[in-house]
């Protein structure tokens, strides 16, 4: 306990941000993905008039309202936290891309307004007006995420900023980040990840219900919509991941080398599956190497030369073991979900409704429900830990941006308690929503 209380301000601040962001990113993804599923379900109801689709839509609407509220609380806490813990970071970032935070706030309020209209407008708005409100929720949620990713993209590739010798911002170009491929590749990747995570999680819920004998249209539709969205995005994410890899190779050689614990500059550089990196020895133990795969990932040419960590100053290395493990987890989870989507798609094409009778497939869907969120968290670790030791790549080190306050550890404890309360409340209320079984055909 004494050792914990004596941790450095930097360590405590980074631990607090890790806790906060890993919690909030789940609700941010749900705020993007679940309204999209809800809009699809209501659209199908309006076209077919099948009662179980209306029931499904209302269930997802209740979950959307609850999770939006929790995400709003955690997001508000996070905004205060960033300002208190990282004053130097906020001084620079606020001047350069603070407008993106402001625009994200507008998107958030638009989403909140339309959630209110949607939840309380079932019998007050025309049916198609009500559906358009749901579509506005889905669109504003996605736009909010894209704008926040714009800030993160700028942290990876800071552009459109001029600073004097004292480190003060003296000129900015507010739209510069939107003119780079950093923004749109990261925005595409994160948005697909949100749809993927929520789609497979929703499908898993209804697969469990199906396995318990609730073999009705309600559960089949929940399965079908969740898998359709999650499966398409899982396949598209492979293309998006390829684009992201090339962006990282071109702009952040230390991060790219850390992905595969690549120490020596070489042609035909391998991808290393698994293994334990040893930074001191400059090797990876127990890993499975695929020759030329890393070079291909970087340039689409297996003979391309990839810079190794040994040609980069040691003080610019990220945590290699953490980045390599997180990258393997992200790619592994994403690959498994893409394969699952392809298998289900083939069975559904050949067998139609009989695909839902394959209990082994339902079990796979049920146990795979959390893989999307695991991949999401792992991808966030790759993005953030891989950028270290920089808070703003090439401009501001993380160690130079932390607050000088002595109250970081108590603040960490207070935020940990807040997130524990939010998590417990969310689980209890979600169980209540789920337990209210609908009468469906």
Three-point CA angle 111, 157, 261, nearest 5° = 110
pLDDT at 439 over 70: no
pLDDT tens, position by position, 300-343: 898 999 999 999 999 999 999 999 999 999 999 999 999 998 88
pLDDT tens, position by position, 234-250: 999 999 999 999 999 99
pLDDT tier for residue 7 given thresholds of 50, 70 and 90: low
* Domain locations in the chain as residue ranges: 8-435
What is the Cα–Cα distance from 189 to 333, expressed in whole angstroms? 15
What pLDDT does residue 76 have?
86
What pLDDT does residue 358 have?
81
Percent of the chain with pLDDT over 90: 54
pLDDT at 441 over 50: no
What pLDDT does residue 2 have?
44
Least confidently predicted of 6-20, 62-76, 194-208, 228-242: 6-20
For the chain, the average pLDDT equals 89
What pLDDT does residue 437 have?
56
pTM of the model: 0.92
Residue with the larger pLDDT of the pair 63 and 436: 63
pLDDT tens, position by position, 177-202: 888 888 999 999 999 999 999 999 99
Residue whose C-alpha is closest to residue 296's, from 273, 269, 264: 269
Tokens linked to 328? 């393997």
What pLDDT does residue 80 have?
85
pLDDT tens, position by position, 200-238: 999 999 999 888 888 888 988 999 999 999 999 999 999
Report, as an integer, the average pLDDT of 396-403: 90
Least confidently predicted of 24-28, 100-104, 138-142: 100-104
């Amino acid at each position: 306990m004494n050792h914990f209380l004596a941790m450095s301000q930097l360590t405590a601040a980074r631990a607090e941000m890790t806790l906060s962001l890993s919690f909030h990113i789940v609700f941010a993804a749900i705020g993007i993905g679940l309204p999209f599923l809800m809009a699809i379900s209501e659209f199908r109801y309006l076209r077919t008039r099948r009662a179980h689709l209306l029931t499904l839509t209302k269930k997802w609407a209740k979950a959307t309202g609850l999770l939006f509220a929790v995400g709003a609380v955690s997001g508000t806490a996070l905004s205060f936290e960033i300002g208190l813990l990282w004053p130097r970071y906020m001084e620079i970032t606020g001047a350069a891309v603070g407008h993106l935070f402001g625009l994200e706030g507008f998107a958030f309020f638009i989403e909140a307004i339309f959630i209110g209209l949607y939840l309380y407008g079932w019998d007050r708005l025309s049916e198609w007006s009500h559906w358009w409100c749901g579509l506005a929720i889905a669109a504003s949620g996605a736009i909010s995420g894209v704008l926040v990713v714009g800030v993160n993209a700028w942290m990876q590739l800071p552009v459109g900023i001029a600073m004097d010798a004292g480190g003060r911002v003296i000129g900015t170009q507010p739209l510069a980040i939107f003119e780079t491929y950093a923004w749109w590749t990261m925005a595409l990747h994160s948005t697909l990840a949100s749809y993927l995570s929520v789609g497979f999680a929703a499908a898993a819920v209804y697969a469990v219900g199906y396995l318990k004998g609730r073999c009705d249209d309600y559960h089949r539709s929940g399965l079908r919509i969740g898998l359709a969205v999650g499966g398409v995005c899982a396949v598209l994410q492979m293309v998006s991941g390829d684009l992201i890899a090339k962006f990282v190779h071109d702009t952040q050689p230390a991060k790219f080398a850390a992905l595969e614990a690549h120490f020596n500059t070489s042609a035909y550089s391998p991808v290393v599956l698994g293994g334990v990196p040893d930074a001191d020895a400059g090797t990876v133990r127990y890993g499975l190497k695929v020759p030329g795969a890393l070079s291909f990932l970087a340039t689409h040419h297996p003979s391309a030369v990839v810079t190794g960590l040994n040609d980069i100053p040691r003080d610019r290395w990220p945590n290699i073991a953490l980045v390599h493990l997180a990258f393997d987890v992200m790619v592994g989870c994403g690959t498994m979900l893409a394969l699952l989507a392809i298998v289900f798609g083939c069975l559904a094409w050949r067998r139609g409704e009989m695909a839902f009778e394959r209990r082994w497939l339902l079990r796979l869907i049920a146990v795979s429900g959390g893989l999307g969120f695991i991949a999401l968290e792992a991808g966030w670790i790759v993005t953030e830990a891989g950028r270290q030791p920089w808070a703003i790549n090439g401009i501001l080190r993380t160690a130079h941006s932390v607050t000088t306050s002595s109250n970081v550890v108590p603040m960490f404890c207070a935020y940990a308690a807040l997130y524990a309360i939010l998590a417990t409340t969310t689980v209890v209320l979600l169980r209540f929503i789920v337990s209210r079984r609908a009468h469906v055909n």
